[in-house]
A and B are shown apart, each in its own frame.
Chain A
Amino acid sequence: MTSLETPVITGTRSNAPVKKRKGGYGSLGRLSRGDRIAVSLMLGVPTLLVLWLVWVPAVLSVVLSFASWQGIGGIDTIRWIGFENYKNVFTNYPPFAPALEHNVIWLAMLFVLATPLGVFLAVLLDKEMKGGRFYQSALFLPVVLSLALVGFMWQLIYSQDQGLLNAVTGSKIDWYGDPKVNLWAVLVATCWRQTGYVMLLYLAGLKAVDPSLREAAKVDGASETQTFFRVVLPVMRPINIVVLVITFIEALRAFDIVWVVNKGRNGLELISTLVTSNIIGEASRIGFGSALATIMLAISSVFVALYLRIALREDKA
């Protein structure tokens, strides 16, 4: 999903300066032959790649979502069944409702916990405190690890019989197995990683804020809190949007950690895991899985569209 918005952005960004700049290269028509070839290659090759790797599969997925196919044999073995798959997803597939709910909880948790915490840590680290470098590396370390590995590491903490958590607290809770708690246990692990990611992004943004703005705020008698919310935060609008979008994307594409724990069953259903377990593997309900994927695509498109609107407005401003 990440790559969905990139081509359009690059498109608009590269178009805008060309139109605005009257001097320099002038309009497209006045480019030299070599330049024109270079430009068309630089635009054309990535566009073809994006079409081939993103849009064609996406469109085919949508098309296949109206089919019944086991993934074996040629196109002639595909049976077209209209909206049957969608009807089944919504009315006749018990894991779907929990999956949707879990994705929403995932988004909410990243939004209220991981992202604010990351921002908070970034602000603290920006204070150039003693040992800041150390904390920064320590907090960023989880981001370097893949989520699959994160899931495994937390398994050592969560394991019912041999885990650290139960050994220390003496509880008997099965953190990854009990469907009442496993989603939250996994979310803690996810937030642990996501926080570092947001922190680093935000820290980079904070370093770029013009120090004179803060000084001016101080001179005007603004408190720390006021300075941050009234001055720094508005200045960092582009970073804020990036962080927001990352939060949405991470929530929607959440998959690996849950897959490592129990293949997204028993309390850990996510739309992405349902897509995988229907399409990959022996099951091969290609049509049904594509319908799930299409639903996921539709939901992500809403966020992508929102982001594009904000980003485009930004460009115009």
Chain B
Amino acid sequence: MPKPESQEHYLASLVPPSARAGVTRRGLLKGAAGTGAALSMSGLLSACGGGSSSGAGGSAGGKPTGTVTFGSNASDAPPKKAFAEVFAAFTAAKKVKTKVNTVDHNTFQEQINNYLQGNPDDVFTWFAGYRMRFFAAQGLVGDISDVWKTIGPDFSDSFKQASTGDDGKQYFVPIYNYPWVLMYRKSLWADRGYQPPKTMDELTTLATTMKKDGLSPIAFADKDGWPAMGTFDILNMRTNGYDFHVSLMAGKESWQDAKVKQVFDTWKGLLPYHQEGSLGRTWQEAAQGLVKKQSGMYLLGTFASQQFTGADLDDLDFVAFPEVASEHGQDSIDAPIDGLMMSKSPKNEAGAKALLTYVASAEAENIYLKTDHGDVGANKNVDTSKYNAVQKKSAEIIGSTKNIAQFLDRDTRPDFASTVIIPALQDFIKNPSDIDGLTSSIEKQKKSIFVA
């Protein structure tokens, strides 16, 4: 039940930030006026970024000082350590301290609404895609277009697009991404003479052979509800193309369309080759099946490599999901981007922007990727010579794929993804035969949600 105090809290919290924002903006203007009216925002900001500040007088426009607070969802050990090292380097270089507030990954995500409307940290971790644009449209996050004027040349256009809100301004700084691919163990496939499948037919033949050899052909886990979205996404993009994915996620296409039914039908043909009992299994457990050579392959983000250590990690290889319809080939892939955003009215705006500028630099991303090596750096100039085999191949696949999608639950409304799609896909896994009933139920629920 929503408690009234939280509503009061919302209302109360709405006033001070805007008031504060006003003060900051005034301060900024004063600062700009002090250093000359012609001085543009980007001029101020590159001063922050480059550290060669000429001493702009304003509270926000001046040389970054003090402490920047950082809300982190990096609760797993490797990314937590990676951020700590990046921040240590930032403090050493820019003399601005950081105060990190780490929250459990899923909890952070679930509390994001309250977090942003309450008293958020200056900078926080978040995701690109609809999930980013939504909060930007609600005015809950800070415009960092000026930061992008500095860091822009370091990123490809697709990353800039992914960081841009509906209003054309930038709100997001990408750090890394990772592709969703079909992973397998080289040694197992070499021993058995398996060849990477290029088409659906080859995939089915391979899966049949694996089954005969006593393996679970395709490792599968959907206890948490989201991994199955990856399977749906890739089948949808392979069958109907990237553009259809985008408009389906935007609620513009009907889920009862024959195209969507075709996706479910293809999936239904593959389900017998999926590992059984998926609804009670987590992705970590499914990945363990791959490690132990009990499963033949696994469609998941390359973060699954976290479950591989030492020699096993070197043995991990992957290919893009095979082609389904020839007109779309293998031209699309899910490669979600994680990164940072700035809150609407940070207490230390100059420091926050300096931090964002620093984190976007190749230097910072090199430090980050040294510790968290399941991901690929977003910055063009990241040092790829230190990449392991998985990272190298991930970078290749992302670079050579025409269309990059963010992932179902990042490309559509969160309420639709979590309250409709998760139960619907789980129902499908339990009972794959009633595709008509399933799609009509999704469509009806979609209509009730996409009105707002």
A interface list, Cβ under 8 A from B: 52, 56-58, 60-61, 64, 68, 70-75, 79, 84, 88, 92-95, 160-161, 174-179, 182, 262-263, 265-267, 275, 277-286, 288, 290, 293
A174-B280, A277-B418 in contact; A285/B449 too (CB < 8 A)?
yes
Interface string of B223-255 (1 = CB under 8 A from A): 101000000000000000000000000000000
Tell yes or no: B426 within 8 A of A by CB: yes
Determine whether the beta carbon of A286 is less than 8 Å from that of B2. yes
Residue in A52, A64, A88 whose CB lies within 8 Å of B448 = A88
Determine whether the beta carbon of B451 is less than 8 Å from that of A68. yes
Q: State A88–B3 Cα separation when bound (angstroms).
A: 23
Q: Tell me the B327-368 residues at the A interface (CB within 8 Å).
A: none
Determine whether the beta carbon of A282 is less than 8 Å from that of B4. no
Determine whether the beta carbon of B280 is less than 8 Å from that of A178. yes
Q: State A94–B444 Cα separation when bound (angstroms).
A: 11
Residues of B within 8 A of A60 (CB): 2, 4, 7
Nearest CB on B from A15, distance (A): 29
Nearest CB on B from A13, distance (A): 27
Add 18 more A-B contacts to A279-B1, A282-B418 (CB < 8 A): A57-B3, A60-B4, A68-B451, A72-B113, A74-B10, A92-B441, A92-B444, A94-B424, A94-B441, A160-B277, A174-B281, A262-B223, A263-B225, A265-B225, A265-B423, A282-B414, A283-B419, A288-B419
Residues of A within 8 A of B424 (CB): 94
Nearest CB on B from A168, distance (A): 19
Determine whether the beta carbon of A278 is less than 8 Å from that of B419. yes
Interface string of B105-149 (1 = CB under 8 A from A): 000011111000100000000000001000000101000000000
A74-B11, A95-B423, A174-B280 in contact; A279/B2 too (CB < 8 A)?
yes
Nearest CB on B from A197, distance (A): 25
Closest residue of chain B to A297 (Cβ to Cβ) is B1
Q: Tell me the B178-223 residues at the A interface (CB within 8 Å).
A: 223
A282-B109, A283-B415, A293-B1 in contact; A179/B140 too (CB < 8 A)?
no
Residues of A within 8 A of B414 (CB): 281-284
Determine whether the beta carbon of A92 is less than 8 Å from that of B418. no
Nearest CB on A from B130, distance (A): 11
Determine whether the beta carbon of A277 is less than 8 Å from that of B140. no
Task: Rank and list the top 5 A-B pairs by shortest CB-CB distance, nearest first.
Answer: A177-B280, A282-B414, A281-B110, A283-B415, A174-B280
Q: State A262–B110 Cα separation when bound (angstroms).
A: 15
Residue in B4, B112, B113, B445 whose CB lies within 8 Å of A93 = B445
Determine whether the beta carbon of A177 is less than 8 Å from that of B423. no
Nearest CB on A from B112, distance (A): 6
Tell yes or no: B100 within 8 A of A by CB: no
Q: Tell me the B390-441 residues at the A interface (CB within 8 Å).
A: 414-415, 418-419, 422-424, 426-427, 430, 441
Q: State A220–B113 Cα separation when bound (angstroms).
A: 69
Residues of B within 8 A of A182 (CB): 280
Q: State A88–B451 Cα separation when bound (angstroms).
A: 13
Determine whether the beta carbon of A64 is less than 8 Å from that of B2. yes
Determine whether the beta carbon of B277 is less than 8 Å from that of A177. yes
Nearest CB on A from B157, distance (A): 28
Closest residue of chain A to B288 (Cβ to Cβ) is A161
Q: State A160–B138 Cα separation when bound (angstroms).
A: 44
B interface list, Cβ under 8 A from A: 1-4, 7, 10-11, 14, 109-113, 117, 131, 138, 140, 223, 225, 277-281, 285, 414-415, 418-419, 422-424, 426-427, 430, 441, 444-445, 448-449, 451-452
Which of B110, B415, B444, B451 is the most central at the interface, judged by chain A CB atoms within 10 Å of its CB? B415
Task: Count A/B pairs, Cβ under 8 Å.
Answer: 119
Determine whether the beta carbon of A179 is less than 8 Å from that of B281. no
Closest residue of chain B to A269 (Cβ to Cβ) is B423
Determine whether the beta carbon of B14 is less than 8 Å from that of A74. yes
Identify 17 residue pairs between A and B in the complex whose beta-carbon atoms are under 8 Å apart, listed by A's number: A94-B427, A94-B441, A95-B423, A160-B280, A174-B279, A176-B280, A178-B280, A179-B279, A179-B430, A263-B225, A265-B225, A266-B430, A281-B414, A281-B418, A282-B112, A286-B2, A288-B419
Q: State A198–B138 Cα separation when bound (angstroms).
A: 50
Q: State A72–B419 Cα separation when bound (angstroms).
A: 18
Determine whether the beta carbon of A79 is less than 8 Å from that of B452. yes
Determine whether the beta carbon of A282 is less than 8 Å from that of B113. yes
Nearest CB on A from B228, distance (A): 11
Determine whether the beta carbon of B110 is less than 8 Å from that of A94. no
Which of A52, A174, A176, A182 is the most central at the interface, judged by chain B CB atoms within 10 Å of its CB? A174
Residues of A within 8 A of B223 (CB): 177, 262, 266
Closest residue of chain A to B448 (Cβ to Cβ) is A88
Which of A71, A177, A277 is the most central at the interface, judged by chain B CB atoms within 10 Å of its CB? A177
Residues of A within 8 A of B415 (CB): 70, 278, 282-285
Q: State A174–B451 Cα separation when bound (angstroms).
A: 39
A88-B448, A160-B280 in contact; A72/B418 too (CB < 8 A)?
no
Residues of B within 8 A of A262 (CB): 223, 279-280
Determine whether the beta carbon of A282 is less than 8 Å from that of B131. yes
Q: State A203–B270 Cα separation when bound (angstroms).
A: 57
Closest residue of chain B to A77 (Cβ to Cβ) is B138
Residues of B within 8 A of A70 (CB): 113, 415, 452
Closest residue of chain A to B413 (Cβ to Cβ) is A283
Residues of A within 8 A of B445 (CB): 88, 92-94
Determine whether the beta carbon of A290 is less than 8 Å from that of B277. no
Residue in B1, B111, B117, B449 whose CB lies within 8 Å of A72 = B117
Closest residue of chain B to A173 (Cβ to Cβ) is B277
A265-B422, A286-B2 in contact; A71/B280 too (CB < 8 A)?
no
Residues of A within 8 A of B109 (CB): 281-282
Closest residue of chain B to A282 (Cβ to Cβ) is B414
Q: State A18–B176 Cα separation when bound (angstroms).
A: 71
Determine whether the beta carbon of A73 is less than 8 Å from that of B280. no
Residues of B within 8 A of A88 (CB): 445, 448
Determine whether the beta carbon of B7 is less than 8 Å from that of A72. no
Residue in B113, B117, B423, B451 whose CB lies within 8 Å of A94 = B423
Residues of A within 8 A of B14 (CB): 73-74
Determine whether the beta carbon of B2 is less than 8 Å from that of A282. no
Closest residue of chain A to B14 (Cβ to Cβ) is A74
